Amino acid sequence: MTDPIAATAPEPTASVDGIAAELRGAVDSGLTRPRAYREQQLDGLVAMLLQHASLWEAALKADLGKSEIEAHLTEIGFVVAEARAAKRSLRRWMAPTRVAAPLALQPAAARSVPEPLGATLIIAPWNYPLHLALAPLVGAIAAGNAAVVKPSEVAPATSRLLAQLAPAHLDPRSVRIVEGGVAETTALLEQRWDLIFYTGNARVARVVAAAAAKHLTPTVLELGGKSPVYVHRSADIPAAARRIAWGKWINAGQTCVAPDHIRVDREVADELVEQLRIATAEQLGDARTSPDFARIINDGHVERLRGLLGGSTVVTGGDVDADTRYVAPTILTDVDEAAPVMQEEIFGPILPVLPVDGVDGFIGAMRGRDKPLALYVFARDRDAVRRVERETSSGGLGINVAVAQVGAAGLPFGGVGESGSGAYHGRHSFEAFSHRKAVLSKSTSLDTLRVIYPPFTELRGRIAKRILG
């Protein structure tokens, strides 16, 4: 067996021709529909993660420099919890939902019935290469679909291990792992799928959406954007700094819902910057030697981040070591709105802090910008919180918390506009991978529909108008 954590490019899959039709056949045959089969697959997914936890830890360390605890907190444990919760809830989720039939159709029974969409394609990113490949798969399995998972070639160790372990724990008749790069992804997108679930950036999402449109295939697009933080003058500044620092530095800032930048009321800006510096030192110490601080995924992203450091004041950090893919946790002040760091999603451990003049200043800064995947407000003033909630739009909103909202399985996770479309997690994953079929049942023993059959006499017309009105 080859080294399961070798950080080499994944082997391209020999051929993906016809794989969508093949997997659709498994669904059409009824293989994936029984609840027992879905539960068995979810159990297999959990076993694959827990029985080989040390291998997953090593793969994530090789790809992203993740610590053992971070690997469990943000990847392994998250998916295990999601799969177990889905199994516990499956009977309830699969049950038809009764709907009241209107008077005009009585006597009748109406219900919506969840059914599998069919053959689904999941295209995963590199920043959480295990979590974001398998969390959507939980929804696909729970809803009774077959799925291809295309892990990111940019995280080769995790991709390789997933391809090696999945066939032993998941039924290859309904779940396949396809490794490779652009060529393999392009070949997959040329086929007709019943749902495409893509996590990544908006540029590639447009390619995915265009490919899906050729077959009128529905999509779930989980993207990102510049997720802002607003710190109001009423906030508990030390607590806000600790929570923002944690949310920003986890995975070295390579998180789609990480705080991208902070806008803070001018009168507390200096205090916040100092508390951020203190919180960073408390949580990471010397980040270069901290086992809890991850590394940047590759050389290209290291250089991209290096290019975002200029033109501002570095309060702390600023160090870059390309040989070890290390970019220090960096806090910037005196940031110009036109600076490169404010023009693109940072996706790394660089945190600009910009002063604003109150809630009006923050809301004004948000106007005309793309709607972010997440927005965070730190305030004890309830009116300030209410205004931010009411007058801004984002995929999710965290109040006095950063990033942790992702762990609330009952909440939908998804974007709006440029930050994505569709949502998942918990029951929302099941619904994302399901079609709700409308079913109306009416006995023929009493034909109450006669009133709407032509010819329309004056009496029938009056009765119909009364019933329908």
Please indicate whether residue 256 is annotated as part of the active site: yes
CA 285 to CA 464: how far, in whole Å? 76
Residue by residue, DSSP assigns 96-143 as: -EEEPPPGGG-S-EEEEEEEE--EEEEE--SSSTTHHHHHHHHHHHHT
> Based on C-alpha coordinates, what's the Rg of the chain?
25
Distance of CA 55 to the CA centre of its chain: 24
- The answer to whether the Cα torsion of 404, 64, 261, 411 is positive or negative is negative
CB-based burial, 77-114: b 16+ in 10 Å, e otherwise:
bbbbebbebbbeebeebbeeeeeebeeeeeeeebeeeb
CA 253 to CA 221: how far, in whole Å? 21
CA 395 to CA 413: how far, in whole Å? 7
Catalytic residue from among 57, 70, 222, 418:
222
Please indicate whether residue 337 is annotated as part of the active site: no
Catalytic residue from among 57, 153, 179, 256:
256
Peptide bond connecting 455 to the previous residue in cis, omega within 30 degrees of 0: yes
- Phi, psi (degrees; rounded to nearest 5) at 434: -120, 155
Within a 13 Å sphere around the CA of 289, how many CA atoms are in the beta-carbon half?
2
Catalytic residues: 222, 256
